Homo-oligomer: A and B are copies of this chain.
Amino acid sequence: MTGTGKKLRYGMVGGGLSSYIGDVHRHAAQMDDLAELCAGCFSRRFEASLETAEAWGVDRTRVYHDYKEMADAESAREDGIDFVSIMTPNSSHFEIAKYFMERGIHILCDKPLTLNLDQALALQQIAQDKGILVGVTYGYTGYPVIRQAREMIRQGTIGDIIHVRVQHPEDWVIESTGDAPEEDLPWRFRPEVVGEALCTGDLGTHAEQLLVQFTGLRIRRVLAMLDTYPTWLPLETNTTVLLDLGEGRTGDLWASQIAMGKTCSPAIYVIGTKGSLEWDHTQPDILRYTPRGGATQLLEAGKGYMTPQSDRLNRVSAGHHEGFYEAFGNIYRSYAQVLLARKEGREPEDWTFPDIRDGVDGMRFVHACVESHKKGNVWVEL
């Protein structure tokens, strides 16, 4: 299969058979045949890793006991992996990413990038020093109409941005916990595993990246309010943030893990001087565009009137929904295309995946929100 010379080789750390996100990554990578899974350390248990490898057709000689063994071996092989996908709990992202990067292996890492900002900055330094391509899999940003919005904004269709409202509500914490403390705090809620914030890191960063990818803007300052329910949890589950987007632009960001009725509902609404754009994950292939003075239009992924930047990410004909796998696949595709271009000394056609800057900005965002809240809800620079 690798004889074609067209594909990249990649490995996985984490994501074994029992993992939900492992499957998402693997399908995303398969989708465009740009990367072949060649190596892995899929689990802490070697036996589980071997089973995964067998199920997925990975040569057992390239199944490793731990990530260090894997990075050492793969970086030494001539046909070693080009990049590694990291899908372990947040707390281990840093050490794993660092180890691979230092050995010259590119990385594609789950979000949030690290446990804290210092770690993220350290990775950014390594990436710069060693020329490592870092991608961060903010899956929701892969939908074609997100690119449509970005391109329309770039072309000035809605004029200058005035105000942005972005959100990422879910219900998983309130639906999976009781009102009274559980005997043992589940690992998913432990600060040492998830970092200094829970909802802000888990979902707030999704909203933050959605804003970045949709508008092209960056958050300059935040003023955050963090709420915790169930009250026995050590970290917040509901995050509300006022945003300073620079040059007088403002915004509002909301992320929640207790939003019953909003299973997984990232959404964004952008007001410009000449019109507005709105996207809601409940209908992920529709972009609402309202020109100043005109009727709202429902722009639909795959239709003839969409921009090439959006069409490029569309896999099915208009009206045939693309889901989370396909959006995730678009992150993989762009990452792989940029990596291939780089290997071949070409300029990539497009660059639509969240990269090291986005990964670092996510951690800046989380840290600034926590600081803002601790200080009594004051403005904090990112």
Contacts and interface: CB of A to CB of B under 8 A. Distances in A.
Interface string A264-295: 11000101010110100111100011111111
Nearest to A287: B295
A381 to B, nearest CB: 14
5 contacts: A4-B54, A6-B55, A30-B30, A179-B273, A261-B290
Contact of A323 (B175, B271, B322): B322
Nearest to A224: B242
A350 interface: no
Contacts of A220: none
A296 B322 CA distance: 20
Given A258-B163, A261-B276, A325 B319 contact: no
B319 A323 contact: no
B240 A252 contact: yes
A254 interface: yes
A317 to B, nearest CB: 7
Nearest to A326: B323
Contacts of A225: 223, 242, 250
Contacts of A305: 293-295
A238 interface: yes
Contact of A295 (B299, B302, B378): B299
A368 to B, nearest CB: 15
A180 B4 CA distance: 46
A292 B260 contact: yes
Interface residues of A, number: 85
Contacts of A4: 54-55, 57
A10 to B, nearest CB: 15
A170 interface: yes
A138 to B, nearest CB: 14
Interface string A357-382: 00000000000000000001111000
Contacts of A282: 283
Given A325-B323, A325-B325, A163 B293 contact: no
B55 A33 contact: yes
Given A225-B250, A326-B325, A316 B24 contact: yes
Given A271-B258, A275-B260, A304 B293 contact: yes
Interface in A221-243: 223, 225, 227, 229, 238, 240, 242
B260 A223 contact: no
Nearest to A295: B297
A17 B290 CA distance: 33
